[in-house]
Amino acid sequence: MAKSTRSYRSDALQASHSAMQGLHKVGAIDKMAMRQFDATCLTPVDDLRPERIKNIREAAQMSQAIFALILNVTTSLVSQWERGEKKPSGPSLKLLALADSKGIDSIL
């Protein structure tokens, strides 16, 4: 069995999630129910400070323009994040969190 790299809100939710995965595997629950359970159990992505966003980009040795292309946003938006004028959210925040924890190659 592959080791899980997911981050759970608690040990109890991790155990419950494992049980639900087993039920899904044998067809006792459908894909939609499993997705909803995933969202309940997994730790939400934390906000990233402007300095951290810039550090992620600089560690990847990318300009704001290239970084923006990778994230499918505008260069202006990356600049605004790095200055703290706006905060990333939704898919952009998730991609940034993945790049932060696993490296830029994880989202290429």
pLDDT, position 2: 38
In this prediction the pTM is 0.65
How far is it, in rounded angstroms, from Cα 72 to Cα 4? Answer: 28
| pLDDT tens per residue, range 64-105 | 999 999 999 999 999 999 999 999 998 899 899 889 988 999
Q: What is the structure's pLDDT at 1? A: 36
**Which domains are seen in the chain, by residue range?**
11-41 (no CATH), 50-107 (1.10.260.40)
Q: Is the pLDDT of residue 5 over 60?
A: no
Flag whether pLDDT at 6 surpasses 80.
no
> pLDDT tens digits for 30-65?
999 888 887 777 766 789 999 999 999 999 999 999
Of 97, 101, 74, 85, the closest CA to residue 50 belongs to: 85
Interhelix angle 50-59/75-83, rounded to 10 degrees, is 130
